[in-house]
Structure formats: C-alpha cells, structure tokens
C-alpha cells in the first residue's frame, strides 16, 4: 500500500496537520510522508510537543519513523499494531500535554481491545492550546456523546515557561463511534473560575471582577469562583457557557507583564463572541476536533459551528487524505456555519 503524501504548509500550516495525520495513520494502517512540517509557524519543524506526539504515536502503534528529530521539517511515519497499555510521555518543556493527548486518544480507544492509562507531563495551561479544564469540561463530554469513555485527572498544573504539569488519562476501548446530530437548548448561563498558582490572590480577584463586569455589560450575570492552586507561577480565567450540546469552556492564561484585566478580557471576548453567534452551536475550538471522530462514526452527522476556522478547514483536508467520505462545510471562514458528514462511515471507508 502506497504512502500518503501530505503537504504541511497547506491551510493553517501548523501542528494539527501532523496530529491528525498521526492519528489517522494508526487507525487506517496507512503510512504517510509529511513534508514542510509546520511551515507557516515562526519556528517551523518539529518542536518539543510535536516531537512528543510523534514518539507517543510511534510507541502506541509500534511504528517506524524517519525524520523524527527536533526541528525536522520532513517526517515519514509507518504504523504497526496499536498496543493498549500503560504509557508515560514527557514533553520536557511547557509544551501542551493536551495536544499530545489529542494525537493518541482516538487510536487507543477506537482501535484497541483493552483500556489504556496515559500519564502526560508538560504544560497543562498554556497559550493557544487546549487547557486541562477545557479538555475535562468540553472535549471529554463531546467524546462521551460519540461513544468514548475517557477520564482525566489533573495531578499538578504546569504553566509556561516551567511546565512540569501532570495529567493522567484513562482511556476505555470503544467498539464503534456514534454519529451525532447536535443541538442545544439555547438557554445561556455562565459560570467559571479565576485561579492563581504561586501568585497573589488579588490577581484572581481582579480577573474575576473584570470578567463579571464584561458579561454584565452583555446582559448576563456570571458566577465566577476564585481559587488558589499549588505550584505555578501562573494564572487562569475560565468561563463556562451552557446552552449548547455540551458546556463550552473559554480559557485565558496569564503571562508575565499581562494585566489581570487583559486576561479576563481575552476569555470574555471569546465567550461573548460565542454567545452572539448562537449558544446552541458547537464552539470554534471543538469543531475541528469533532470532525475527526465523526468522519469514522457509523452514519451521518451534522452540527452547527459558532465560527468556521482555518483549523477546521485544514483538518477536513487532512482527513480526506485517509478517509473516503463526503464532508461538507456551509459558511464562510470566520463566520458561523455548519458541518455535514455523509455516508455509512466506519473504518472500511479508509481511502488513499
């Protein structure tokens, strides 16, 4: 069977092309050659978290690798047999453990016969990556809807630049993936938390106060709890918006020199944009993750999205390299839209 050729500079040109390729290679048994890895990023090639994803995929799938080194822009991945079990993967930096989990969870559930226990060390709350709390509050609940049983535990938070956070994941095998036609109640309610680790509690109070003010200006009263965590240093502001298929969590992370109010504004801006687009829609961060398992699910799926992102469009293009199934996007980029996945589904629709 021929190796699939993939251009890593296509679409958004980032690490998602790599992660989706790794997952689908393991699931379909098709090897791939990825060139121009992360070509559109300021530091192209495999960085620590991407290299950890490659090595994690190779470990669970007994795969052969070429080009798996730091900074590499050319990778060949040839999968073997998926082996469930107990694994530990350390990013070695504050790189996102959530993105490593996104690489391996579907092969370990959909293509394995026994449970797996995975421990991940690195960044649990880092900018532009899914935080632990997003994974637990939103991503894991969507996974349950399409038939996966995954439990997560935050052992220790890890922030940029130190990292060192620890997440434990328990992944159960699934015989099939369930197609979804998603909708929500549309009844919006906002809760959340403002947390500091290794920093003054006043920062958490300022974040919470600002976020509550922003949402009150929008017309919603938000219950935002203040928390102090061990470890750090770092800050988090998370806003959970109900009314959709599952609660949507919007998270902002503090940075050195970034005022607490700006952290709150970042989370509030995303939450308010989602509310304006229609709270019953799938949030923009979840849409590109949903399309991958639903492309393998039994039967057609359909869901509305709050915003059609370049990540979503790119992920669909990568999926089409491996899976022969009609996937249709309605809506312009950066606008609300919908996703339809037709056909019978299942692993038999692996394409070339």
91 domain residue, yes or no: yes
350 domain residue, yes or no: no
- Looking at the structure, do residues 33 and 151 belong to the same domain, yes or no? yes
CA 314 from centre of chain: 14
349 domain residue, yes or no: no
351 domain residue, yes or no: no
352 domain residue, yes or no: no
Amino acid 175: pLDDT: 87
- Looking at the structure, do residues 303 and 270 belong to the same domain, yes or no? no
> How many domains is the chain partitioned into structurally?
2
pLDDT in tens, 286-335: 999 999 999 999 999 999 999 999 999 999 999 999 999 999 999 999 99
The yes-or-no verdict on residue 348 having pLDDT over 60 is: no
How big is the chain by its Cα radius of gyration, in Å?
Answer: 20
**Secondary structure of residue 153 in the 3-state scheme:** strand
Q: What is the CATH number of the domain that holds 162?
A: 3.65.10.20
Q: What is the CATH number of the domain that holds 273?
A: 3.30.360.20
pLDDT in tens, 214-261: 999 999 999 999 999 999 899 999 999 999 999 999 999 999 999 999
The yes-or-no verdict on residue 84 having pLDDT over 90 is: yes
Domain end call among 277, 296, 324: 277
Of the pLDDT bands very low, low, confident and very high (cuts 50, 70, 90), residue 346 is: low
Helix axes 15-28, 48-61, angle to 10 degrees: 0
- Looking at the structure, do residues 147 and 161 belong to the same domain, yes or no? yes
- Looking at the structure, do residues 20 and 144 belong to the same domain, yes or no? yes
309 domain residue, yes or no: yes
- Looking at the structure, do residues 114 and 27 belong to the same domain, yes or no? yes
297 domain residue, yes or no: yes
Domain end call among 277, 307, 324: 277
The yes-or-no verdict on residue 133 having pLDDT over 60 is: yes
The yes-or-no verdict on residue 170 having pLDDT over 50 is: yes
Identify the residue with better confidence: 350 or 196: 196
The active-site residue out of 102, 274, 285, 311 is 311
Q: Provide the percentage of residues in the chain whose pLDDT is more than 70.
A: 97
Look over the chain and give the mean of its residue pLDDT values, rounded to a whole number: 95
- The residue among 55, 18, 56, 20 whose CA lies nearest residue 35 is 18
pLDDT in tens, 183-201: 988 889 999 999 999 999 9
- Looking at the structure, do residues 309 and 172 belong to the same domain, yes or no? yes
Domain end call among 227, 246, 277: 277
- Looking at the structure, do residues 27 and 130 belong to the same domain, yes or no? yes
135 domain residue, yes or no: yes
The yes-or-no verdict on residue 16 having pLDDT over 60 is: yes
- Looking at the structure, do residues 123 and 232 belong to the same domain, yes or no? no
- Looking at the structure, do residues 107 and 161 belong to the same domain, yes or no? yes
The yes-or-no verdict on residue 145 having pLDDT over 50 is: yes
Question: What's the average model confidence in pLDDT over 100-110?
Answer: 98
Amino acid 1: pLDDT: 67
Amino acid 352: pLDDT: 37
Q: pTM (2 decimals)? A: 0.94
- Looking at the structure, do residues 27 and 99 belong to the same domain, yes or no? yes
67 contacts 75 by C-beta, under 8 angstroms: yes
Q: Provide the percentage of residues in the chain whose pLDDT is more than 90.
A: 94
The yes-or-no answer on residue 102 being catalytic is no
Range of the domain at 162: 4-181+282-344
Amino acid 186: pLDDT: 80
Q: What is the DSSP letter of 348?
A: G
Of the pLDDT bands very low, low, confident and very high (cuts 50, 70, 90), residue 347 is: low
- Looking at the structure, do residues 176 and 201 belong to the same domain, yes or no? no
CA–CA separation, 327 and 43 (whole Å):
31
Amino acid 344: pLDDT: 77
- Looking at the structure, do residues 176 and 247 belong to the same domain, yes or no? no
CA 112 from centre of chain: 21
**Going by C-beta distance under 8 Å and a sequence separation of 6 or more, which residues neighbour residue 265?**
210, 214, 252
């Amino acid at each position: 069977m021929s190796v699939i050729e993939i251009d890593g500079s296509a679409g958004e040109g980032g690490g998602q092309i790599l992660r989706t390729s790794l997952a689908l290679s393991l699931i379909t048994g098709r090897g791939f050659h990825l060139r121009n890895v992360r070509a559109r990023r300021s530091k192209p090639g495999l960085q620590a978290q991407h290299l950890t994803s490659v090595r994690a995929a190779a470990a669970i799938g007994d795969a052969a690798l070429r080009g798996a080194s730091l900074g590499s822009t050319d990778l060949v991945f040839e999968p073997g047999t998926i082996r469930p079990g107990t694994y530990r993967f350390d990013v070695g930096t504050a790189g996102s453990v959530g993105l490593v989990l996104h690489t391996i969870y579907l092969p370990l559930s959909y293509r394995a016969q026994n449970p797996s226990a995975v421990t991940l060390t690195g960044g649990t709350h880092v900018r532009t990556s899914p935080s632990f709390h997003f994974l637990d509050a939103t991503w894991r609940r969507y996974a349950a809807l399409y038939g996966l049983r995954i439990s997560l535990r935050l052992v220790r938070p890890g922030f940029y630049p130190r990292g060192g956070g620890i997440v434990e994941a328990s992944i159960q095998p699934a015989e099939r993936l369930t197609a979804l036609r998603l909708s929500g109640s549309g009844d919006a309610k906002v809760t959340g938390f403002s947390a500091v680790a290794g920093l003054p509690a006043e920062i958490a109070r300022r974040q919470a106060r600002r976020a509550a003010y922003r949402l009150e200006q929008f017309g919603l009263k938000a219950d935002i709890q203040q928390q102090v965590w061990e470890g750090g240093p770092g800050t988090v502001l998370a806003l959970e918006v109900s009314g959709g298929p599952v609660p949507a969590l919007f998270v902002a992370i503090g940075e050195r020199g970034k005022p607490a109010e700006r952290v709150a504004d970042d989370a509030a801006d995303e939450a308010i944009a989602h509310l304006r687009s229609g709270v019953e829609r799938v949030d923009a961060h979840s849409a590109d993750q949903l399309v991958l398992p639903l492309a393998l699910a039994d039967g057609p799926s359909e869901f509305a999205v709050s915003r059609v992102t370049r990540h979503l469009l790119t992920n669909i293009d990568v999926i089409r390299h491996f899976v022969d199934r009609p996937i249709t996007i309605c809506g312009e980029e950066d606008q609300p839209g919908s996703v339809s996945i037709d056909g019978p589904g299942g692993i038999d629709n692996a394409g070339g």
